[in-house]
Structure 1
Amino acid sequence: MNIVEEMITKGVSIRYELGVESLKDEEYRIECIHRAHTILCSIFNPEDDVTFIHRTFHDVKDKPTDKIRLKRFFRTQIKQLRSYTTSHWYEEPDDQMYIRQWAVDVKMKDIRIAYVIECIYNSDFARKPTSDGQIYLYNKRNGILFHMYDDRGCDVCSLDQNVLLPLYHLHRKWILDYDRYDIDQLFNEGLTGITETKEERELRQKLNDQKVTDSKMDLNIDNTSNVSHHFEIPTAHATKFAEEVSLTGFTVRQISEENKRTKFEVSKVEMITLIDYQTHLMSMYGKKYGAYTGWSYQQMKR
């Protein structure tokens, strides 16, 4: 089985957020590239043996091609380039698509990493240079597969979840908040053991739907907002609450302290269409440390 398919079907992964929605233009680009490079450097050493994988996706009606510009990604001449064609699948086979894959074994130091990251970043912005496909880096030493899928984020995969545990701790703040609850469960940390009943979920979603309806916001256009979540935490647990939530992509602010209760506001700039995962995540922190009292928003100017 191909290493990419093997990781997807049998492995575990951490998804990191690279592009931060609250940042714009050059600040967004700089932060995205910084995060990608930092995560890569924590996985690979210069002398590591790496399999560089490049994949392109095609309609079955397309004519197969052997033309691919890979030399530009390397500092040295590449040897023994391997290629093959396989059927396309995502969760299940797709007989209308196929994948063309090229792979080569190199030293990490021979890959132009800054250029690779730039090419992947540019892919969704119609800029040059671009990656012209999906790029995966497999570290033979530790068995970790790195895949920056575009400017939004990257996946770090392994067949052994213990190998990923140091990365979970090292870059915990950058874990994609949408997947944070599930990733915590994977490593038996954070919100592990904090659950939501069916009745709690239905009530939370009902309140979300009502608030969105009342907002009269058109969800078919840009609905990016500064979403604030509100908490009342026993003061005895306030420090631990603030410490753990600060390890997410949300901003934590203490509002007041009275009668041994501390009020917090936890905020993030994101689309209102993602409010369900936000309220689930925040309500779990509320259940762990005190009480989650709801959310408010301020729509960003377009």
Structure 2
Amino acid sequence: MNITEFMNQKFPGLELEPPLFYNWDVAIRFELGVDYRKTDGENSVYINNVYIRAITLFKTLHLPEDEIFMVVNVNDFGNRKVFSHRLKVFSKYIKEKHVLYKLQQVTIPYGFPEDVEEEKYKTHRFSLKCKTSDIKYISLLKAICNHDMGFKPSISYDVFFINTTKETIFRVYDDRGSDLLASSPDKISHIYEQYNGWILDYDRELIDEVFK
């Protein structure tokens, strides 16, 4: 099954673009960054706790042999060498180079056409079918969390982990938080219970309605 078939079957009508949480009924939004201070640097308690939460959620959700689509949206504003960026994102965080032969790319409309001249802006979507064990997910998640903090290495693109085995979608949007979606509540009810204390309070009422 390719990614389009999977999304049409399990997440019909859902677009892989932010904000995921508000675009799907069965969803949890987790708070990753807590008690941020302007003085927090690269080795601060704040950022290390962000890493711990992101990595813990990913490991709990994705077993080594789970089938995954790793999807990266690269926005093209007419001045980016998107294919060189593609190589950096995937080659750096995939363990075995032969897995990269499965990498696919499609061009889709830019997600926010009202902000730009639509014909000049577009998005290149790269997707790689692999297993969890193929991904250097610890360093990848840290790079995603680093972006808004200005730390290196960092990744500025939207990265989605679509677990076809568990029927879930996981995305860390930055150091502040992450979204988890599922095809049905029973797929992630154990995550809701186990990490209830990490749920973003702002959206807790909406989330509780789904799982209670």
Residue in 2 aligned with 1:165?
189
User: How many residues align structurally?
Assistant: 187
**Distance of aligned partners of 1:34 and 1:132 in 2 relative to their CA distance in 1, 3 Å threshold:** same
The higher radius of gyration belongs to 1
Whole-Å Cα distance in 1 between the matches of residues 56 and 80 of structure 2? 39
Unaligned runs of 5+ in 2: 8-13
Query: Larger strand proportion, structure 1 or 2?
Result: 1
Please state if 1:175 is matched with 2:199: yes
Equivalent residue for 2:106, pick from 84, 91, 97: 84
Whole-Å Cα distance in 1 between the matches of residues 149 and 109 of structure 2? 28
Equivalent residue for 1:53, pick from 56, 71, 74: 71
Unaligned runs of 5+ in 1: 189-302
Residue in 1 aligned with 2:128?
104
| 1:13 partner letter | A
**Distance of aligned partners of 1:149 and 1:187 in 2 relative to their CA distance in 1, 3 Å threshold:** same
**Distance of aligned partners of 1:84 and 1:145 in 2 relative to their CA distance in 1, 3 Å threshold:** same
Q: Structure 2 length normalisation: TM-score?
A: 0.78
Please state if 1:65 is matched with 2:89: no
| 1:76 partner letter | E
**Distance of aligned partners of 1:63 and 1:132 in 2 relative to their CA distance in 1, 3 Å threshold:** closer
Is the contact between residue 162 and residue 168 of structure 2 (CA under 8 Å) also seen in structure 1? yes
Residue in 2 aligned with 1:114?
138
Please state if 1:39 is matched with 2:57: yes
Is the contact between residue 67 and residue 130 of structure 2 (CA under 8 Å) also seen in structure 1? yes
Higher RCO, 1 vs 2 (CA within 8 Å, ≥6 residues apart): 2
User: How much identity, in percent, do the aligned residues show?
Assistant: 24
Residue in 2 aligned with 1:299?
none
Q: Structure 1 length normalisation: TM-score?
A: 0.56
Across the aligned residues of Structure 1 and Structure 2, the Cα RMSD in angstroms comes to 2.5
Following superposition, the deviation at residue 103 of structure 1 comes to 0.7
Following superposition, the deviation at residue 57 of structure 1 comes to 2.1
**Distance of aligned partners of 1:179 and 1:47 in 2 relative to their CA distance in 1, 3 Å threshold:** same
Please state if 1:144 is matched with 2:158: no
Following superposition, the deviation at residue 92 of structure 1 comes to 8.4
Note the 1:279-294 alignment, pairs <5 A.
Answer: none
| 1:18 partner letter | L
Deviations 1:104-149 (A, max 9, x none): 1111111101110111011112222112412111111111111001
> Which deviates more, 85-94 or 20-29?
85-94
SS at match of 2:141: helix
Whole-Å Cα distance in 2 between the matches of residues 11 and 98 of structure 1? 28
Whole-Å Cα distance in 2 between the matches of residues 186 and 64 of structure 1? 42
Equivalent residue for 1:15, pick from 11, 29, 32: 29
